[in-house]
Amino acid sequence: MGQRIVTVAATIVLSLGLVACQGHQDGASPTPFNAKAQAAKKKFPVKLRPRTAGPGSGIQTQLTDFQGKPIKAPCGSCHATKAESRRRKDGNSLKKFHNGLTLKHGNLTCLTCHNGDDYDTLRLADDTPVKFDKLMDLCGQCHGPQKRDYDNGSHGGMSGYWDLTKGPRTRNQCVHCHDPHAPAYVGVVPAPGPRDRFLKQPVAPSGAAAHP
């Protein structure tokens, strides 16, 4: 009997000790999250990073103005008088523009995305025109999982604020990384790695390795 009491007492002391051990880093427990207060706060916008290249602002004419800046022409200025070709898949057979443009994007044709009725816009499958500077919905028609991940913040680069009550955020669009005419991601040369203080000299990327 006495032995049993000792065993019970020892067990209690041990378990108390274990609880104390687990609480070792409990001083670091965070303050609770207040969902109502968070919802009431004003939120800053999430903006799309503007496109710097591409036909959104017209196509290069190879001509320059008196300041030496390249002159761009709106797509419609040529396409207004050109008949559309629904089957065309690349620009190499054309004589004046779009030479060298080979489409490596599934079995798509030019007019899968470009709007044959207004070449200064793109077009969704349901005929809705889409502007060149906001084409996430267009890509998302086929690339659903990627669009879903993008919408939930787990695909595509961003900068700015994680806490939108403190400041705005800017997000990349699909075409910042994926060329819409050949969307497979091309390789890059990585940024320099860590250098050992004693054993190794830094290895510079050379020749064939530097250029895929």
Partner 1 sequence: MSESADGVSRRTLLKAAGATLGAAAFAQALAPLASWADGISTEEFLAKHYKELTPTELTATLKRIEDDTKKKTGVDVKVTADAPMEGVKFGYALNLSICIGCRKCAEACHEENNHDARTNNSYIRVFEMDKGSIDFAKGSVDYVHPVPQEDKFYMPVQCQQSDNAPCVSVCPVEATWKEKDGIVVVDYDWCIGCRYCEAACPYHARRFNWHAPHVAAQDINPDQGYLSNRLRPQGVMEKCHFCLHRTRKGKLPACLEACPTGARVFGNLLDPDSEIRWVLKNKRVFVLKEELGTKPSFFYFFDE
Binding pattern to partner 1, positions 148-187, x when CB under 8 A?
Answer: -xx-xxxxxxxxxxxx-xxx-x--x----x-------x-x
Stretch that binds partner 1, among 19-27, 104-112, 118-126, 135-143 (CB under 8 A): 19-27
Per CB under 8 A, the list member of 33, 86, 106, 207 interacting with partner 1 is 33
> Quick one: which of 209, 207, 202, 203 has its CA closest to 188?
209
> Quick one: which of 29, 49, 16, 30 has its CA closest to 157?
49
Stretch that binds partner 1, among 50-58, 60-68, 129-137, 189-197 (CB under 8 A): 189-197
Q: Could you tell me the smallest distance in angstroms from the CB atom of residue 19 to partner 1?
A: 15
The residues, ordered by sequence, that sit 6+ positions from 105 with a Cβ below 8 Å of its Cβ are 180, 181, 182, 183
Q: Could you tell me the smallest distance in angstroms from the CB atom of residue 110 to partner 1?
A: 28
DSSP calls for 16-72: HHHHHHHGGGGGGPPPPP-HHHHHHS----EEEPPP-SSGGG-EEEEEE-TTSPEEE
Binding site for partner 1 (CB under 8 A): 24-25, 27-35, 38, 145, 149-150, 152-163, 165-167, 169, 172, 177, 185, 187-197, 200, 202-205, 209-212
